[in-house]
Each structure stands twice: as C-alpha cells, then as structure tokens.
Chains A and B, each alone.
Chain A
Amino acid sequence: MASTGTSLHNRRKLVNTIMASLTSVCALLVTLLLLLIIGYIAVRGISSLSIQFLIDTPKPVGEGGGIGNAIVGSVMMTLFASVIGLPVGIAAGVYLSEYGRNWYGNIGRFVADTLIGIPSIIVGIFIYTAVVLPMGRQSGLAGSLALAVIIIPIVARTTEEMIRLVPNSMREGALALGAPHWRVSWNIVLPAAASGIATGAMLAIARVTGETAPLLFTALNSRFYNYYLDQPMSSLTVQIFNYATGPFEVEHAMAWAATLVLVAAILVINIFVRTLTRKRY
C-alpha cells in the first residue's frame, strides 16, 4: 500500500516514533539506574571488605572494627522471625484459599493486603508499644517479632495465590476418595503448591533481611556479639544506617562494605529464586 503522503499521516508516524523512543528511554533509564547503584556499591564496598571486617565488632573510630556481630544479629533475627512468621503466614494462606471463599475470608484478604502496604516503621512502633514497653527494654525478640509481622501477610497472600494454582481436579480426586477436607489441604494441596510457597517465603525473608525501620527501636543495636534474644541486638541494616550517618570517612567506607555484604545476600536470594521459578511474584 502506498503511503498516503499527507502531513497528518507523517505527523502520526512521527508521534509514533517519538513515543516508542520515549518508552525505550524510560526502560533504559531504569535499567541503567540498577546497574549504577549496584556497580557503585560493588566498587566502593570491595575496597574496605576483608575477612577481619566480617568478624570484628564495631570499634571506636580509627581502630578498625567490623560487622561480625551485626551479621550474626541479622541472621538470628531473620531466622527467628521466619520461625514465627512462615508457619502463621502459610496457615493463614491455606485458610484463605481453602476455606476463605466467603465474607470472612474477604476481610482476611483485605487486611493482609492492607498490612503489606503499611509502612514498616509503623510496625516498629506497634511492636514497641506491644512488646518493648511491657518488657521494659529493647531486644532481639522484639526485633524478630516486628520482622515476623512483616513476613506474615506477604507469605499468606503468596501461599494463597500458589494454592489457587493447584488444579481443582486434584482436590476433587482426593475428596472423592473420602478424605476429609483438612487432610486434602494438608496432604494433597499443600505439597502440590510447595515450590511456589517456598519461593514466596524466600522472597519474604530476603525482604525483611533488608528492613531497617522496624528494628531501630525494637532491637536497637549492640556493639557486641550477642546470642540472647532478650537483649538488644545489632543488625546489618541498622549498622549501615549508623555508619552512613556518622561523621567520619572511615565509617562511610565501612557502610559501603557492609552494604555490599547485605545487597549481595539479598540479590543472590532474589536472582536464585526468580530464575528457578520463571513465574513472577
């Protein structure tokens, strides 16, 4: 078809080309941004990273120091938060999908969705009033609970979605054999959705590993190795925050090194999980 060489026709083609380029520029911009951020972290972080840094505790400025206790604190609190949050979240997700097709379930779903959007600092304040004030002090336990509160709704919703993907015929097959509903949920549906649920759980864990705001006044911080959950506990994120906002250049260098460790851990989990399961969450 010969193009109708009118000016309107040409203008439409031009607009089309311009908009196509603009959207490509947007995509390029966002991609570059990620590379820029990660690249900068890698370059700045690697120069201060050493084995000693990964083992040491924070020391007065000028005497070195490291993030050993912060790593231990982050791992402990994340693990404990997972121990509490994952079973509750998965149970809630199973309930929502298997039994929640009613008014009651809709409320639960709505609450979970809204909780996901609640600022994490608010979770921190909630745990502060609910746990720290009654206990009389900040603790690793309070920090873990704050992280668990963040994990639960995320895991509940991904669990529900994963279970929804289990074909109904599988359920009906088991029910037809006379199995009670709860048994079908537990023995048939849950295993069928297991890998999806595991993915959601891993991403939730990666997410809370990076949380700072809910730990600031629940777990507080600590300069020492601490293995007791009833004591204030250090975390990588709070340590990064302290180093970053400190006045000295050496502290900033340590902030970058600690960030490299944190971001590497989080990105490895994300890339690993997301490439294993091609679906998006």
Chain B
Amino acid sequence: MMVENSMPTLSRFGIGFLAGMEWKPAQEEFGALPFIYGTVVSSLIAVLLAVPVSIGVAVFLVEQAPKSVARPIAFMVELLAAIPSVVYGLWGIFVLAPFIREYLGPFLQTSLGFLPLFQGRLTGIGMLTGGIILALMITPIVTAVVRDVLEAVPVTQREAALALGATKWETTTIVLGNAASGIAGSVVLGLGRAIGETMAVTMVIGNSPQISASLFEPANTIASLLAANFAEATDKLYLSALIEIGLVLFLVTFVVNALAKLLIMSVASGPDRAKHT
C-alpha cells in the first residue's frame, strides 16, 4: 500500500530522489539527501555517546555491583525506557537545549573550536542536541540487551580467568570478548532505535533540511520530516514523496533490526556456546 502511494515520486525521480540535495515542496523539488544525512549523523552521535555508557552500566550491574545495589539501579534504567518520547522532547527543548547553548556549546567552542564540527552559531537547537537526546533514549535499551548477553556468558569463563590470576577487570574483558557479537547486536539495535525515533528529535533538531559540517546547526531527520509535514501534505506528489521517504526509513530499520536480532541470537545459541556451557 505504501509502495503504491509512493509511485508518483518513485517513477518521476527514480533513484535520484535519494541523492537530491534540495527539498522544496512548493517547486515540486524533492531530494531526500539532507534528511538521510541528518538521520545518519544524529544516530551516530547517539550511538557513540550511548554505547560506552550502556556497556559501563551493564558491566556494573552484572559484574560488579552486589545484587542489593544492582536491582534498584536496573529498575531505574527500565523506568528511563518507559518515559515517552514526547517527554524527552519537552525536556530537550527546555533543559538540554539551554544547557548546550549556555555551557556545553561555549565549552566545546573554546576547547575544540578549531574543528568545523563545533563552529557556527549556538542556538541550543540542532544536530548535537538531537544526537544527545537520542543517546539518552537508547541508553536503557542498549543497557538491557548488553546486560542480557553478559548474563548469558557462562560463569566458567569468569572462573577460568580468575584462576589464572586475572583481576576483576581483566576477567570482565574476557566476559566482554565472549559477548562481543551480542554487544555488536545491541549497538545495531540502538542504532535502529535512533534512526526511527521521531518526536524527541523533531522537537530539538531544528527541522531544517540542510547539510552542515557544524553540529550546532539545525538539521532534520527522515522521521521528523514525516512528523512535521505529513498532516499538511495535501498535494499528491508531495504526499508521495513523504510516503516514499517513509518507505526508505521502514526498509532501513527493518534491515538494521533483523541484523541486530541475528547478532544477539548468535550469543544466546551460537555454536561456540553449545561447546562450553
């Protein structure tokens, strides 16, 4: 059904639709590249920030903390996942964006301002804010998956390392090595979530279809383009363009999620696992 409704642009622009730089509905010009760029960059920022922290939290919960400490913290992480996207967006607009404008942005500009990444005007709304909000949102899910794969690593692996005189941390690196493909799966899963996340990003990314080197500049993602414009797209070609880009998002998240699932399953029931559990 979605394919059918995206036929007008599919036939008119073909593959060039994905590479087009300009998005001007009034002139019937539809190029999806700025949105693809925004989606990719904001999701990468999110993954880069969220994954190390998530692995840290998961290691803390599984390998280090006593049960009495791990349980309430795990519970809080789950609650973080329960908070709706629109609430993260609201918080992003009124707490995170001013924080970036007043503190984080100026700090980055003075310390790393020679990089094009951190040049330009500081409004608090833009790519970086979107990426950080996404990072907050995917941290609970990545943490939960990493935690599950760490728990699936047999205790005999830990004992083997300890018996060789490994420290707690060295033992943890053995455990992480065992869980490597599952952790990769959690990263991909987090990426998939970030790519498809809509409301919070829409509220803080600035919704401007441009490709800029600066992370402080406003940008746009596929999901927030859809959220902001779908309701008002009355023109048939415009609607078709939006549905087609939605289809792209669907296919990308489908592939990413399938990949994540395969990676995570390989830890739960891999050929290696069968041999040494």
Direct contact of A and B (CB under 8 A): yes
- In angstroms, Cα B2 to Cα A274, docked, is 38
Minimum CB–CB distance for B37 against chain A, Å: 18
Interface string of B108-121 (1 = CB under 8 A from A): 00000000000000
Minimum CB–CB distance for B178 against chain A, Å: 17
Minimum CB–CB distance for B212 against chain A, Å: 22
Contact B226 A262 (CB under 8 A): no
- In angstroms, Cα B170 to Cα A69, docked, is 57
Minimum CB–CB distance for B148 against chain A, Å: 9
A122 CB-CB contact with B under 8 Å: yes
Contact A121 B227 (CB under 8 A): yes
Contact A121 B56 (CB under 8 A): no
Within 8 A of A (CB), among B189-212: 189, 192-193, 195-199, 203
Within 8 A of A (CB), among B72-95: 73-80, 82-91, 93-95
Q: Which of B5, B91, B170, B226 contacts A40 (CB 8 A)?
A: B91
Within 8 A of B (CB), among A28-56: 29-31, 33-34, 37, 40-41, 44
Within 8 A of B (CB), among A225-278: 237, 240-241, 244-245, 252, 255-256, 259, 262-263, 266-267, 270-271, 274
A24 CB-CB contact with B under 8 Å: yes
Contact B86 A119 (CB under 8 A): no
- In angstroms, Cα B223 to Cα A271, docked, is 30
Contact A20 B64 (CB under 8 A): yes
Interface core residue of A31, A122, A126, A211 (most chain B CB under 10 Å): A122
Contact B90 A255 (CB under 8 A): yes
- In angstroms, Cα B250 to Cα A252, docked, is 33
A120 CB-CB contact with B under 8 Å: yes
Residue of B nearest to A25 (CB): B56
Interface string of A171-211 (1 = CB under 8 A from B): 00000000000000000000000000000000000110111
Known: A23-B57, A34-B80. A114 touches B254 (CB 8 A): yes
- In angstroms, Cα B198 to Cα A120, docked, is 8
Contact A262 B87 (CB under 8 A): yes
Q: Which of B64, B172, B261 contacts A110 (CB 8 A)?
A: B261
In the complex, chain B residues whose CB is within 8 Å of the CB of A256: 90, 94
- In angstroms, Cα B246 to Cα A217, docked, is 14
Minimum CB–CB distance for B33 against chain A, Å: 20
Known: A263-B87, A270-B79. A119 touches B197 (CB 8 A): yes
Known: A114-B261, A210-B83, A244-B90. A122 touches B196 (CB 8 A): yes
Minimum CB–CB distance for A25 against chain B, Å: 7
Name which of A11-19, A77-85, A86-94, A158-166 contacts chain B. A11-19
- In angstroms, Cα B193 to Cα A27, docked, is 21
Q: Is the interface of A mostly helix, strand, loop or mixed?
A: helix
Known: A240-B87, A241-B86. A220 touches B53 (CB 8 A): no
Of all A-B residue pairs in the complex, the 5 with the closest CB atoms, nearest first, are A119-B196, A210-B84, A26-B56, A117-B257, A23-B60
Interface residues of A (CB under 8 A from B): 12-13, 15-16, 19-20, 22-27, 29-31, 33-34, 37, 40-41, 44, 110, 113-114, 117-122, 124-126, 128-130, 133, 138, 206-207, 209-213, 216-217, 220, 237, 240-241, 244-245, 252, 255-256, 259, 262-263, 266-267, 270-271, 274, 280
Known: A206-B82, A252-B94. 14 other contacts (CB 8 A): A25-B56, A31-B76, A31-B77, A37-B80, A40-B91, A119-B250, A121-B226, A210-B83, A212-B86, A212-B198, A244-B93, A256-B90, A263-B83, A274-B75
Interface residues of B (CB under 8 A from A): 1-2, 5, 52-54, 56-57, 59-61, 63-65, 73-80, 82-91, 93-95, 136, 139-140, 143, 167-170, 172, 189, 192-193, 195-199, 203, 223, 226-227, 230-231, 242-243, 246, 249-250, 253-254, 256-258, 260-261
A-B contact pairs, 28 of them (CB 8 A): A19-B169, A20-B169, A27-B65, A30-B57, A31-B77, A37-B80, A41-B87, A114-B254, A114-B258, A114-B261, A117-B192, A118-B250, A119-B196, A119-B198, A119-B249, A120-B198, A121-B223, A121-B227, A128-B230, A207-B82, A210-B83, A210-B84, A210-B86, A212-B85, A262-B84, A263-B84, A267-B83, A270-B78
